[in-house]
Structure formats: C-alpha cells, structure tokens
C-alpha cells in the first residue's frame, strides 16, 4: 500500500476515534452503562469496548491479528473516562511516523465448534480500513440509540455515517436526517 493510502486511512481512523471520544465526553456514566432495549439489553459502553478492542488487536504489534481473542476488558464498558483514555492511547499509537503497512496474518474461526482456525494474509492498512468501517457501523447504531434515549445530546453531523455515504449526499444534494442512518 502506498504511503498516501496509509496516510488517508490513518486520518480517517483519527476522525472516527475523535468522534467517539467527543461523544463519550458528553455521556454520563449512567447513560454510558444503562442497559437499553434497542441494544437488546446491552449498553453504549459495550459498543465502545467492542470498537476499542478491535483497534487494540490491530495495534499490539503482533504479526497475527485475531479479533476473536480480544481481552473484553469490562473497565472500558463501565467507564467513559477509561474508554477515552484508551482511545487517546490508540490515537498516539496511530501516529503516522510510527506506523508502517506491514504484512500480517488474520486468524479467525467461523465454525460453530470453534475448531477450524483459518489464517489469511493481510496488511496493517487493510485491517485499519476494516477497523474504520467496523467502527462506523457501530457508531450508526450508537447514533440511533443516542437520538432515541438521550435527545439532549447533540451528535455532530456525519456521526455514524460512512464517508462514501457522506460524499454521495453532498454530490447529490441529499439532506440526511442524522437520526435515521441507512444505506443510500
């Protein structure tokens, strides 16, 4: 992957993580940890933990990325302050001068029995792109939840909307209601 592509991915990752950071700053611990029906009884904090731990799997400097084996640190899901501290660490790690598009192996097990581990060649850049899309997907869910339960919190425009969707909306003068994300 060219350095330009990696720079673009790093910039996009920073943008996504900074949006998450700002939202966490505006949520109380009670809001962050409240079980919500729209999330099947899960919490906003659990979505944060999930996003953060995928990034942690990628940046731990191993040659193997295995999202199935993330730590599942409940401190992240119980405290927006802790989540933000870890987001800040990830942002520091994603400093363009420290990151290279090294070759990696992606390991996963898609079997019901958990006995069929696969390995696929990948790269840091490809996995960073995946993490961006994965985060935006969860942010779209968070957007709906915040708009439904915490109307007093104002989300920034574009929160939880894919870059390609934002471009489409701008090019076609589509006015989007931030509370109703979806495919365009």
The CATH classification number of 3-171 equals 1.20.120.450
Q: Torsion-angle region of residue 106: left (phi > 0), alpha (psi -120 to 50) or beta?
A: beta
Using CA atoms, how far apart are residues 164 and 166, in angstroms rounded to an integer? Answer: 5
Q: What is the pLDDT of residues 14-45, one digit of tens each?
A: 999 999 999 999 999 999 999 999 999 999 99
Among all chains, which residue has been given the structure tokens 């999330």?
39
Domain ranges of the chain: 3-171
Q: Which helix (H) or strand (E) holds 59?
A: helix 44-59
Task: Name the packing angle between helices 3-26 and 80-93 (round to 10°).
Answer: 160
CA 15 – CA 72 distance, rounded (Å): 24
CA distances from 32 to 64, 89, 154, 160 (A): 32, 20, 15, 17
Among 184, 150, 182, which Cα is nearest to 169's? 184
The whole-model pTM stands at: 0.90
The model's pLDDT over 66-102, given as tens digits with 9 standing for 90+, comes to 999 999 999 999 999 999 999 999 999 998 667 899 9
């Amino acid at each position: 992957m060219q350095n330009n592509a990696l720079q673009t991915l790093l910039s996009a990752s920073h943008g996504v993580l900074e949006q998450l950071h700002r939202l966490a700053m505006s949520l109380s611990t009670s809001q962050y940890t409240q079980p919500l029906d729209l999330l099947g009884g899960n919490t906003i904090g659990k979505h944060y933990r999930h996003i953060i731990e995928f990034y942690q799997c990628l940046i731990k400097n191993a040659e193997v990325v295995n999202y199935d084996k993330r730590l599942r640190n409940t401190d992240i899901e119980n405290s927006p302050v802790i989540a933000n501290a870890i987001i800040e660490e990830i942002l520091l790690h994603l400093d363009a001068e420290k990151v290279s598009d090294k070759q990696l192996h992606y390991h996963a097990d898609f079997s019901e029995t958990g006995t069929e581990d696969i390995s696929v060649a990948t790269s840091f850049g490809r996995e960073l792109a995946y993490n961006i899309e994965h985060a935006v997907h969860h942010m779209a869910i968070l957007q709906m939840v915040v708009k439904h339960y915490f109307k007093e919190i104002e989300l920034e425009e574009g929160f939880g909307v894919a870059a390609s969707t934002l471009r489409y909306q701008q090019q076609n003068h589509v006015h989007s209601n931030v509370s109703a994300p979806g495919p365009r």
